[in-house]
């Protein structure tokens, strides 16, 4: 009896709750329809060129539905269409931390950042987008354009480099270099360079080189880039040289080139110590897909040594990026190399025929730091080297590099490597170190 009395008292309230539930759901549906319809109306007004009217609709909606990312995003885009870049960037800061922004938001925001002189921020935004969406050609093109635009802001460049390795059968060689270039016009720049090559071993002191070169680079309107350089040793007579290079760029994917130098500088340390020089001719090509997933490089060279030796080399590499994330890229390369030499019993390592097949794995680690850009590169290689007259032997190597854009004008790269190489059937362990500093001014 008590239960019956309680139900009678609660029954009106139950009817009231049942009655208002459909009304509440209907109100939510009405609100969603209004939001969607007004949102589309605001965007359509902006597409028709009525930017202020469209922004008024979207802003009014945002007042009713605060925190709506789609509304905030489209207000940013319409503001960019209107041409108010300062307001665009200011509004974008409200959703800066929203994950995975769409390409149609990244592109206008990055364009505005560039117009406001904040090129590094634009490049970082585009770089994040293209790594996350490697198939988006517009993002890749905008990123490349932004990087080129930043480089074009400065007419001078200073580059300092140092390399050392024990690649000549365990004997260490040091190579120091400095290059200064000046842009004369949009398609022309001149440069001067100095290169010092030496070894601390007494028996190789005669191979020391101090070369000074000057050159000019011009890009013709048919996408042909021509380089002409003249160089000489500042301490030794009769060591003058000439370099001519022609590169054809038919599009953004392919590159073809050929070069000839009358004084090759990449000769073995033991050959330099005997004052042996060489002429070198090369042809090369490289290709990458629009999404940068696949790449291919090939080159062939011929060296005519002054001791009558003729060396021909062939190198090719096929690469594939199997992971392209905002903070990490991983690529694997299949590489092949071979060389042939005509002179027996040369003073330097000179196999009549050799070849190697190797797999190279490269990982790029992208860090958030106080610098505009910080990327570390890790290289791991494993291969098989075969020299005529000797059994094939395994080779391997590991290399780590730190790559910084310290500012929008300065960059620094430092790397160290260690690996096993094979000479006349015997294994030797090679260490290497390189550093490069670049300053745009």
Residue 263 falls within a domain, yes or no? yes
Pair 138, 186 in one domain? no
Rg (CA), the chain: 31
CATH number for the domain spanning 96: value is 1.25.40.10
Residues 379-398 have a mean pLDDT of 96
Pair 145, 173 in one domain? no
**What percent of the chain shows pLDDT beyond 90?**
63
Confidence of residue 27 (pLDDT cuts 50, 70, 90): low
Pair 90, 133 in one domain? yes
Confidence of residue 359 (pLDDT cuts 50, 70, 90): very high
The whole-angstrom distance between residue 278's C-alpha and the CA centroid of its chain comes to 33
Pair 67, 175 in one domain? no
pLDDT digits (tens, 9 = 90+) for 210-242: 999 999 999 998 889 999 999 999 988 889 999
Residue 135 reports pLDDT greater than 70: yes
Domain termination residue (choose one: 109, 135, 152): 152
Q: pTM for this one?
A: 0.71
Pair 356, 377 in one domain? yes
Domain termination residue (choose one: 107, 125, 152): 152
Residue 391 falls within a domain, yes or no? yes
Domain termination residue (choose one: 107, 135, 152): 152
Residue 194 reports pLDDT greater than 90: yes
Pair 338, 374 in one domain? yes
Pair 73, 217 in one domain? no
Dist. CA 417–CA 404, nearest whole Å: 18
What's the structural domain count of the chain? 2
Beta 393-405 vs 328-341: how paired, if at all? Answer: unpaired
Pair 131, 165 in one domain? no
pLDDT at position 200, please? 81
Pair 268, 417 in one domain? yes
Dist. CA 63–CA 52, nearest whole Å: 16
Pair 236, 130 in one domain? no
Dist. CA 38–CA 36, nearest whole Å: 6
DSSP string, 179-234: EEEEEEETTEEEEEEEEEEE-SSGGGGGG-EEEEEEEEEEE-TTSEEEEEEEEEES
CATH number for the domain spanning 283: value is 2.40.160
Domain span at 119:
27-152
Residue 290 reports pLDDT greater than 80: no
Dist. CA 415–CA 434, nearest whole Å: 5
- Residue found under tokens 């299949």: 334
Higher per-residue pLDDT: 75 or 200: 75
* Under 8 Å between Cβ of 405 and 373: yes
Residue 254 falls within a domain, yes or no? yes
Which pair of tokens denotes residue 165?
A: 């390795």
Mean pLDDT estimate for the chain: 89
Pair 119, 131 in one domain? yes
Beta 254-261 vs 241-248: how paired, if at all? Answer: antiparallel
Residue 338 falls within a domain, yes or no? yes
Dist. CA 417–CA 248, nearest whole Å: 33
Pair 335, 420 in one domain? yes
Residue 366 reports pLDDT greater than 80: yes
């Amino acid at each position: 009896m008590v239960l019956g009395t309680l139900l009678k008292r609660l029954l009106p309230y139950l009817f009231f709750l049942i009655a208002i539930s459909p009304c509440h759901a209907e109100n939510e549906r009405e609100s969603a329809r209004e939001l969607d319809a007004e949102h589309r109306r605001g965007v359509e007004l902006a597409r028709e060129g009525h930017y202020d009217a469209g922004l008024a609709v979207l802003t009014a909606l945002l007042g009713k539905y605060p925190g709506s990312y789609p509304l905030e995003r489209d207000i940013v885009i319409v503001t960019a269409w209107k041409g108010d870049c300062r307001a665009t960037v200011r509004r974008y800061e409200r959703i800066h931390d929203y994950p995975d922004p769409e390409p149609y938001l990244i592109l206008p925001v990055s364009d505005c950042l560039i117009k406001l002189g904040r090129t590094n921020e634009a490049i970082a935004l585009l770089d994040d987008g293209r790594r996350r969406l490697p198939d988006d050609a517009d993002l890749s093109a905008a990123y490349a354009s932004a990087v080129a635009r930043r480089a074009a802001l400065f007419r001078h460049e200073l580059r300092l480099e140092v390399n050392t390795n024990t690649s000549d059968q365990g004997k260490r060689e040091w190579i120091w270099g400095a290059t200064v270039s000046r842009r004369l016009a949009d398609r022309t720049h001149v440069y001067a360079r100095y290169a010092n090559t030496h070894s601390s071993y007494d028996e190789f002191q005669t191979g020391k080189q101090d070369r000074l070169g000057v050159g000019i680079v011009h890009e013709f309107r048919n996408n042909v880039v021509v380089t002409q350089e003249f160089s000489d040793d500042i301490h030794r007579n009769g060591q003058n040289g000439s370099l001519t290079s022609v590169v054809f760029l038919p599009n953004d994917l392919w590159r073809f080139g050929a070069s000839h130098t009358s004084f090759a500088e990449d000769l073995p340390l033991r050959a330099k110590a005997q004052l042996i020089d060489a002429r070198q001719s090369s042809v090369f090509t490289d290709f990458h897909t629009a999404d940068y997933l696949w790449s291919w490089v090939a080159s062939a060279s011929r060296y005519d040594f002054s001791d009558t030796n003729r060396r021909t080399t062939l190198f090719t590499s096929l690469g594939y990026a199997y992971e392209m994330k905002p903070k990490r890229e991983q690529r694997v390369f299949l590489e092949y190399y071979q060389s042939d030499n005509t002179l027996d019993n040369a003073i330097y390592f000179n196999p009549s025929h050799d070849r190697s097949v190797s797999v190279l794995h490269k990982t790029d680690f992208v860090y958030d730091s106080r610098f505009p850009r910080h990327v570390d590169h890790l290289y791991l290689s494993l291969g098989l080297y075969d020299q005529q007259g000797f059994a094939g032997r395994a080779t391997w190597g590991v290399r780590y590099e730190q790559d910084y854009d310290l500012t929008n004008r300065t960059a620094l790269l430092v790397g160290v490597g260690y690996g096993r190489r094979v000479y006349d059937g015997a294994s030797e362990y090679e260490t290497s170190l390189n550093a490069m500093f670049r300053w745009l001014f």
